[in-house]
Structure 1
Amino acid sequence: MTTQNLVIRPIRSEDIASVQDFLLKQLRDLFHQEGQVAITDDVWGLGKTYLEPENCNMWAVFTPAGTVVGSAAICAYNDRIELLKGRYHLPATAEVGRCYIDAGLRRQGIGSKLVGLMTDFCRQHGYKMLYLHTHHFLPGGFNFWQKQGFEIILDQGGSFEIVHMEKRL
């Protein structure tokens, strides 16, 4: 499949079921976990989490046939990470999440396009800082975020190999 035929756009309510299916497959494949509440709260509540708040958004990558092959999301950071409590000015900090690309389409610039869309959205909504966490074991994840200008603020390590990163806008 060529990337030139793909369409990247904000999701709409009618896309929710297909985006959920894509995300749950990514979670199964990458994390070997299925449907755990702590991991999937936002997936089950895509509309409430990413569509309803004006300062949040989610984009999906669609094939010409309408199949979801990528995603990325922005929401207001809520100081939920205990190790980072109080680090961020909350109204000015956005959290990047749910950035996944179908395995057969990785390393073709799709993720970079999504980051560009998220960055533009964040600037338009007054965010000054982007926060995310990733895992060393994710294929290309950590290196990708470094190439996008994100810097490590905390490498938590452990069995989940969690790395917290940020980028000032």
Structure 2
Amino acid sequence: MTTPVLLREVPAHAISSACEYVMTARAHLFPILDATVMPADLANFAQVYGPGSQGRFLLATQADEIIGAIGYLPYDHRFAQLDYRGLKTVEVVRLYVSPGHRGQGLARRLYEALKALAQADQVQVLYLHTHPFLPGAIEFWHKQGFVTVDTEDDPVWRTTHMHLRMAGVR
């Protein structure tokens, strides 16, 4: 019998494990980035994703091992070509699934659980960006209902901006 996969928000005692998991996955996916520098959202995890914050972060675990992660945080309007003023917009971040658990629908399950939290939080727009060099990423998000709203010309990153307008949220 296979041990079930559990999806849950990150309890305070698991923050360091969650950050370690994300940093390891990030280093694998983005070897060009400095793996010694922790991004601000992770460095301030409790303030960004913890109780009372406007962010959410989920882990997928199996037999107490982290095998996937996803989160969202308030969109910070850093891309001038995107205008979400007046809309409650969050940025979906840090979707990772461990290699041995890919192809089993776990990324979709993580996203659906996060989307349900966004609906409960009255989020109007889910925004994210991804890159063509991440295998299957753009196609995955299109299958979840996201539409591409911009692709940057940068020859290395070709950042692809996508969003989903939440139905039934005013």
TM value normalised by structure 2: 0.88
Alignment of 1:130-149 (within 5 A): 130-149=126-145
The CA deviation at 1:81 is 2.1
Residue in structure 2 matching 1:97, options 87, 93, 103: 93
Q: Take 2:106 and 2:138, find their aligned partners in 1: how far apart are those partners? A: 16
| Residue 70 in structure 1 maps to residue 68 in structure 2 | yes
Q: Take 1:70 and 1:139, find their aligned partners in 2: how far apart are those partners? A: 17
CA contact (8 A) 1:72 1:97 kept: yes
Match of 2:77 in 1: 79
| Residue 124 in structure 1 maps to residue 120 in structure 2 | yes
The CA deviation at 1:46 is 1.4
Report the secondary structure of 2:20's partner residue. Answer: helix
Q: Take 2:86 and 2:72, find their aligned partners in 1: how far apart are those partners? A: 14
Q: Alpha carbon RMSD of aligned pairs, Å?
A: 1.8
Report the identity percentage: 26
- 1:46-69 per-residue CA deviation (whole Å, 9 max, x = no partner) reads 1111114443210001121x2211
TM value normalised by structure 1: 0.89
- 1:26-53 per-residue CA deviation (whole Å, 9 max, x = no partner) reads 111000021335xx11122211111144
Q: Take 2:136 and 2:107, find their aligned partners in 1: how far apart are those partners? A: 11
Alignment of 1:1-169 (within 5 A): 5-32=4-31, 33=33, 34-36=35-37, 40-64=39-63, 66-84=64-82, 87-89=83-85, 91-158=87-154, 159-169=156-166
Report the secondary structure of 2:81's partner residue. Answer: helix
Q: Take 2:133 and 2:51, find their aligned partners in 1: how far apart are those partners? A: 32
Runs of 4+ in 1 over 3 A off after TM superposition: none
Structure 2 regions of 5+ residues with no counterpart?
none
Cα distance change on mapping 1:147 and 1:24 into 2, 3 Å: same
Q: Take 2:103 and 2:70, find their aligned partners in 1: how far apart are those partners? A: 15
CA contact (8 A) 2:87 2:125 kept: no
Report the secondary structure of 1:35's partner residue. Answer: coil
Number of corresponding residues: 163
Report the secondary structure of 2:129's partner residue. Answer: strand
